[in-house]
Structure 1
Amino acid sequence: MRYTETLVTTNTKFRMSLLQPLVDLHTNRGAVLKTVGDRFQALRYGNRLEPEINPILHGCGVLDLQIRPLIEVKGPDASRFLHGLLTNDIVGLPCGRWQPNLFCGSKGKIKQRLEVLKLAAECFVICCEAEAGIAVGTLLDHYLVREDVTLAFLSREQIRMDLFGSKSTVALHRLGIPEQACTGSFGEFEFHAAPVPWGTQTRWGCLLPIAGAAEWLASVLNSDPECDLVGTEAVDAVRIAEGLPCPGNDFGPENFPQEAALGDHISYTKGCYIGQEPHARMFHRGHPNWQLVGLRIPESVKAAAGAPLLHDGNEIGRLTSVSLITQDGMRAALGWVRHAIAEAQNPVTLESGRVELTPFPLPNTIRRTVPETKSS
C-alpha cells in the first residue's frame, strides 16, 4: 500500500511543532477548539455567532481547515485516472478551480465526498473530509494499476484555509494573487487560491505551507478591519441557509447522490465512472425513495437535527440540519422526506404539530429527465 506507508511514516511531533504558532494565534483570539486527530478545528470565537456570520456574508471570514487531508495526484495519466473514478467532469475542469466530487461504489452509493483542485494540466489536489485521508488514499491506490500517476500526502507540509465574503477577493489580491491567477507568493513561500462553488456566496480555498501559515493568516486578518476568523458553527449556519448538504450531517454512505441534492457533484455527460450505471438508470428512468429538501421553521418553534417529520400523523422523515440564522422570523433547515412527499410538496409537521412546513427543492436537487407517468 504505497499511499498508506507514506502516511504512517509522517513525523507527527515535527508537524505539531510547526502548527504551534497557529494554535497560539487562534487561542489568543478566544477560539473554542476541537481536536481532530493531531489537528484542531475552531468551533467558534467567543459566545456570539453574529460577529462571525457578518464577515462571511459581507466582509472576509477566514476558516482554518487544517483538519482536511490533502492528496496530490500527478502524472501524465492523472486526469484520465480521476475522470474514470469520480462522479464529476475532471477532464473539463479548468486550471485554478475547485470542483465538488464524489467517490461512489459500484452500486451507486456514496463512499466519500471530496473536492478536487486542478493546479496544472496533469496535477490535481484532492481535499478530503476530516479523517478521511487514509480511506480516500487507499481507494485511489487500489484502482491505480498501470496509469502513470503518483500519489502524495501533502498534509505533512501544507494546509488549507478558506476565505469567505465579498471582500475576500480583495484580500487575496493584496497578498499577491494576481488577477485571473491561482498562484501567488508570500515572502519566500508560494500559495494557491481558487474559487470554491458555495451557493450564492463567495468562497476561496487556499493551500499554503504550514511553515508560513501563521504569518500568512495574520497578514490576511490585518489587511482589512472587516477580515476576521470564523469557526465551523458560523460557516455551518450560512451553509444551511444556502441549502448546501454536508456529509455526516445530511448524507452518508447509505445514500445515493440523487437523494442528497448533490447535482453539482455529478456529471451525466462525462461517460463511464464507478457507479455511473445505477446513477444513469435513476436519472432517466426512476427516482430515489428519499429526498433531501429545504424547510423554513418559525423562530418560535423548537427544532433540532434528528427531530422526526410527520405527514398525516405518520413519520415520513427527519430533520438533518437547522440553521442558527433567523431571517424574517424563520430559520432554514434541511431534512429527509419520502420522495412522494417531496415531489408533491405536501406539508409536514414536527412532533408538536403546531406549524405546517412545506418542503421545497434545494438548489442542487437532481431532477429526472422524463416525467413519471402513472399507470392506469
Structure 2
Amino acid sequence: MTSTPETPLRRTPLHAAHLKAGARMVPFGGWDMPVQYAGVKAEHDAVRTRAGVFDVSHMGEFRVQGPDAGAFLQRVTTNDVMKLKPGRAQYNWLPNEAGGLVDDIYVYRVGEQEFLLVVNASNIGKDWAHLQQHAADFSVQLSDESDRWGLLAVQGPEAEALLQPHTDVNLSAKKKNAYFPARLLGFDVWLARTGYTGEDGFEVFVKADEAEALWDRLLALGLTPAGLGARDTLRLEAGFPLYGHEFADDLHPLASTYTWVVKDKEHVGRAGMQAAPPVKLIGLALERVPVREGYPVLLNGERVGQVTSGTSSPTLGHPIAMALVQSDAAQADAYEVEVRGKAHPARRVELPFYKRA
C-alpha cells in the first residue's frame, strides 16, 4: 500500500517511540507501523520464550450501548453474543448479506447494555458504515472510539509474571477472554486476556495520550518490543487467519477451521453462509523453500488452490503456509506449491502448526 499527498499514512500514539527504538517503519492498512526492531526472529523468539509487547493501536474500537445493544449484535454477528457475561470477551464475525465477511472482530461485554468491539485497522470505515446501516432498526447508540485508545499487546509465557507486581488485580484469577479494569504501572487501563500469537498474554487499553509513557514503562520491565513481522509469523504458526488473506468479503468463512464461530441463530448473511464452501483452508509444511500469498497449489500437477499466507517458521525451523484449495481436493496428504515456475513438495498438516503444551 502506498500513500499519496491526499492520503497520508496515519500514525499511532506510539509513532515517536518506535522511531526512538530504531524501528523499521512500513505502510500497513493506511498506517505507518513498525515491522521490526532488532529483527523478526529475535522478536518472535522473545514472545515464544519470554514476553514481548506490540503496538496494535491502529485497530479500531466501537462502543455499542442501549436497550437493544445485545439484540443488535446478535443480528450483525455470527457468534452468540448473549452468552457473554459482563467482563467477558469473544471472537466473532461480521457477515455481509451474501455470507462473506465484512470483518472478523473481538466483542467485549462491558455491562448489561454496553459492549466494545475491536475491529481490523484497514476495515474501520467499512465496518462503521456496515454497523450504522443495520442499527436503524434497533435502540442503540454507536460511537467510534478508535482515536481515544492506545492498544498494547503484552504476549508470551512470562507476561503474567512480569505484569503482576505492577497491577492491583490478581491476574492468575483472570481466565482466557476475561476483560476488566485495572491499575497498571500507575495508569488506569482495561485489560483483556486475549491475543494473536498463540501465547498467553494481555491486551492493554490505555488512553491514547498515556500510551507512550506506558510503553516506556513496559520496556523498562524487560519486555521486548515486537513489530508486524513477528506478529505475522506468530499468528501463522498458531493457525490464526488474517483478514484480507484467509477471510474477505467474497470468501466463504466456513472454508476456515473456525466453523464454531457460527451459531444457530438469525443473523445477517445466514442463508449465504449455509451453502457449502467451494474451498477449504489447509495447512502445508515444506522442507526448504518459503512460499508466499498467491503461489499456486498443485495436486497431481493440476492447480487446485493458492497460498493465502506463508513464512519460514522460526519455531519449527521450516517453511509453513495456509492455503485455500478446492473442497474436493482438501484431503490429500501431499501437494506441490509452484514457486517461480518450479513445483516444490508440500505435505498437508493439521492446523495450528504450533500450540503451547
The match for 1:93 is 84
Kindly state the Cα deviation for residue 197 of structure 1 after the two structures are TM-superposed.
5.8
Which one of the candidate residues 252, 255, 266 is aligned to 2:251? 255
CA distance 1:328–1:247, change in 2 (3 Å)? closer
CA distance 1:185–1:27, change in 2 (3 Å)? same
User: Could you tell me whether the CA contact under 8 Å between 1:70 and 1:155 is conserved in 2?
Assistant: yes
1:208-262 Cα shifts (integer Å, max 9, x gaps): 1011111111111112x3x111001111101111111111122311111111333
Separation (CA, whole Å) in 1 of partners of 2:296 and 2:168 = 47
The match for 2:66 is 75
2:267 counterpart of 1:273 = yes
Separation (CA, whole Å) in 1 of partners of 2:155 and 2:42 = 14
Q: Which amino acid in structure 1 is aligned with residue 263 of structure 2?
A: Y
The match for 1:312 is 300
Larger of the two Rg values belongs to structure = 1
Give TM-score scaled by structure 2 length: 0.85
Gaps spanning 5+ residues in structure 1: where? 1-14, 365-376
2:25 counterpart of 1:33 = yes
CA distance 1:329–1:164, change in 2 (3 Å)? closer
4+ residue segments displaced more than 6 Å: none
Aligned to 1:244, the other structure's residue is in SS state coil
CA distance 1:234–1:327, change in 2 (3 Å)? closer
Which one of the candidate residues 238, 245, 249 is aligned to 2:241? 245
Separation (CA, whole Å) in 2 of partners of 1:73 and 1:327 = 39
Separation (CA, whole Å) in 1 of partners of 2:162 and 2:135 = 39
Kindly state the Cα deviation for residue 39 of structure 1 after the two structures are TM-superposed.
4.7
The match for 1:350 is 337
The match for 1:49 is 40
Q: Which amino acid in structure 2 is aligned with residue 268 of structure 1?
A: K
Q: Which amino acid in structure 1 is aligned with residue 153 of structure 2?
A: D
**Share of identical aligned residues, percent?**
21
Aligned to 1:135, the other structure's residue is in SS state helix
More divergent stretch after superposition (323-332 vs 146-155) = 323-332
Separation (CA, whole Å) in 2 of partners of 1:341 and 1:187 = 52
Aligned to 1:134, the other structure's residue is in SS state helix
Q: Give the aligned length.
A: 335
Q: How does 1:353-372 map to 2 (within 5 A)?
A: 355-363=344-352
Q: How does 1:276-287 map to 2 (within 5 A)?
A: 276-279=270-273, 281-282=274-275, 287=276
Separation (CA, whole Å) in 2 of partners of 1:222 and 1:33 = 22
Kindly state the Cα deviation for residue 278 of structure 1 after the two structures are TM-superposed.
3.4
Which one of the candidate residues 152, 156, 178 is aligned to 2:147? 156
User: Could you tell me whether the CA contact under 8 Å between 1:193 and 1:206 is conserved in 2?
Assistant: yes
Gaps spanning 5+ residues in structure 2: where? 1-9
Q: How does 1:292-307 map to 2 (within 5 A)?
A: 292-298=281-287, 300-307=288-295
Separation (CA, whole Å) in 2 of partners of 1:23 and 1:305 = 28
The match for 2:209 is 211
2:219 counterpart of 1:232 = no
User: Could you tell me whether the CA contact under 8 Å between 2:44 and 2:314 is conserved in 1?
Assistant: no
